[in-house]
Structure 1
């Protein structure tokens, strides 16, 4: 059952923040809404929580329509970016607050808080105030406050953005473990596609209030539906080059890169007419240095140990990022040639739609 949205829309005066979004999030899944700032992902999450009214469409949780239901009656719990802990209360009191407000029996409160503290490894911190905790511990308290409510759906609104890089990696692992322990439906909002790839079993990519593509992380990585998804998912992002179709090969289309005589073969089932203007996309790890490829000049090399990133430029001025693994050869300032196998060259039309 999980969460289902049917043609959900949201407008603020004349501004359309969410445009007829439909999606199905299965029970027990970890879904991530991802996209650039202002794409509508947090607005969509707040609509599911009931903190924003819809301008159109329907929202279902566990098969029940909740579009007009009050937030407290939807069976959801939300974890915010800023923790929102009460500084004068202990960890125990913060986690127990909603249960005490609901006048739950003391024994039940103690049992639920104790279980949440055990899951989140907060047992030794229950008598501390938030000011005595690290950022990661405070975020765990905020998550614990959601757990004790035993919601049907957990909603996370960029909960790790205030943490430093090391803590974010640690908390990503903890959230993954928590999801496996609880088996609950979780919906997570982030602008960080690395978080999306590592946490989700299903990603929903948004742009300007429109759902661009939904699918498993590697499905979006390998088979993006459009140029936006191809460029947004993956770090470093996909390389793009303007090109023209000049022929046909058994594997697909033969394309000439702008400003070069080099030809790439691109994976395509449907033939394209010669002279057709397209854009090709190739991920950094799929570009190989060797003879007979597209000539480029290495401007900067980032050496990260086993992996290095070469920032190169074509004769026409286009930047290409090349990922190398296992090589320690310094190539700064050198002219090299890069090529890619046909199955790793994607084709997009001038509107950014993937051509197959």
Structure 2
């Protein structure tokens, strides 16, 4: 049940923006569509809402085919990037507006709005107008307006983009708490993979209108299916180095790092011809000082207290990021020899596919 998309595509004239996407979101899940700008994630959300027609495929909500159903009858509520509040109405009036249009009894509107205000900690702001509220409070009003409609599915289109960094963190926590409290199916669109990792039960990674991979946040982090997902999920981003297969050593794949006069071992079962070009993926936290590794000159050090990020240049001119924890002595300007455990070395083919 929940939300199911089957072979969904969308074209604007001759230009295709969503290509044959199939996915299933169980009832009550918090799903996040993530990807770079222009990947089709917002278009996909608008198709679920009924704000965009579907060129091909079907969309089902709780087992009902809604592909050709008008938006008002899909039992969904959408929260946009812009708050879209009526400036001349109070918070109470904004939150209850859709119920008023449906001729809902005033006593029922009052009960539903006050319940939503309680959930969102807006009780003391019900008589205020949007101009008297902070950005975070306005966004909570927009969410409250969706809650009172009691939809089967909540749709969020980059709702935190207009907030400053501190408010974004606060609102992420609010949304996570809200999801646990009301237990509704929520679909959230963002280009911020940190938001995706912290909010999602399941992440759907999109690129150029195609679904690249779906899974739980840590599944995607630990086992990306391709180079794009590996590079997109994680902050700081994964480091990529070019290499060539050099045969096997003690059952492990031996990879020569081009231009670095060094090699790494990787737990890869795929048999590769010697000399085959590959890309090596190394997360910043998996790089560590070793003897006989590859050298990197630290050009800048970001010390954040418990964690530090070293921005280092390799002999071939490439920059990499190394994460260290619990270290107090500075490595700025020094050269370090780096390596990684075989189980932490990810290997990708030239076409970007993961080699396992």
Tell me how far 1:249 sits from its aligned partner.
Answer: 2.5
Q: Distance in 2 between matches of 1:230 and 1:251?
A: 24
Q: Name stretches of at least 5 consecutive residues in structure 2 with no aligned partner.
A: none
Q: 1:246 maps to which residue?
A: 246
Aligned to 2:7: 7
Question: Per-residue deviation at 1:338?
Answer: 0.4
Separation in 2 of the partners of 1:223 and 1:235?
15
- Counterpart position of 1:79: 79
Q: Which residue of 2 aligns with 1:168?
A: 168
CA RMSD of aligned residues (A): 0.7
1:334 CA drift (Å): 1.1
Q: Counterparts in 2 of 1:208-227, with a 5 A limit?
A: 208-227=208-227
Q: Does 1:278 align with 2:275?
A: no
Show the counterpart of 2:141: 141
Kindly report structure 1 stretches of 4+ aligned residues shifted beyond 2 Å: 249-252
Deviates more, 1:264-273 or 1:24-33: 264-273
**3-state SS, counterpart of residue 121 of structure 2:** coil
Alignment match, 1:336: 336
SS at match of 1:43: helix
What's the secondary structure of 2:24's corresponding residue? strand
Q: CA deviation at 1:14?
A: 1.3
Q: In the TM superposition, what is the alpha-carbon distance from 1:251 to its structure 2 partner? A: 4.9
Q: Partners of 1:305 and 1:37 in 2: how far apart? A: 32
Is the contact between residue 251 and residue 342 of structure 1 (CA under 8 Å) also seen in structure 2? no
1:261 CA displacement: 2.1
- Write the mapping of 1:92-241 to structure 2, written as runs, cut at 5 A: 92-241=92-241
Whole-angstrom CA distance in 2 between matches of 1:12 and 1:162: 28
Q: What's the secondary structure of 1:260's corresponding residue?
A: coil
Which residue does 2:32 correspond to in 1?
32
Inter-partner Cα distance in structure 2 for 1:73 and 1:251: 59
| Cα deviation code 1:166-201 (max 9, x no counterpart) | 000000000000000000000000000000000001
Residue 316 (structure 2) aligns with: 316
| Separation in 1, partners of 2:117, 2:111 | 10
SS at match of 2:38: coil
Instruction: Output the CA distance in 2 between the equivalents of 1:4 and 1:279.
Output: 35
Distance 1:197 1:53 in 2: 30
Q: How big is each residue's C-alpha offset from its partner over 1:254-289, in whole Å with a ceiling of 9 and x where there is no partner? A: 000011221100121222221111010000000002
What SS is found at the alignment partner of 1:352?
coil
Query: Where does the alignment leave 5 or more consecutive residues of structure 1 unmatched?
Result: none
Q: Distance in 1 between matches of 2:48 and 2:207?
A: 18
Secondary structure of the structure 2 residue equivalent to 1:270: coil
Is the aligned partner of 1:51 residue 2:68?
A: no
User: Could you say which residue in structure 2 is the equivalent of 1:19?
Assistant: 19
Contact 1:251 1:265 in 2 (8 A): no
Shift of 1:243: 0.2
- CA, structure 1 residues 248+76, in 2 after alignment: closer, same or farther (shift >3 Å)? same
Structure 2-normalised TM-score?
A: 0.99
Task: Measure, in 2, the Cα distance between the counterparts of 1:142 and 1:263.
Answer: 54
Equivalent position of 1:295 in the other structure: 295
Alignment partners' CA distance in 2, 1:250 and 1:181: 52
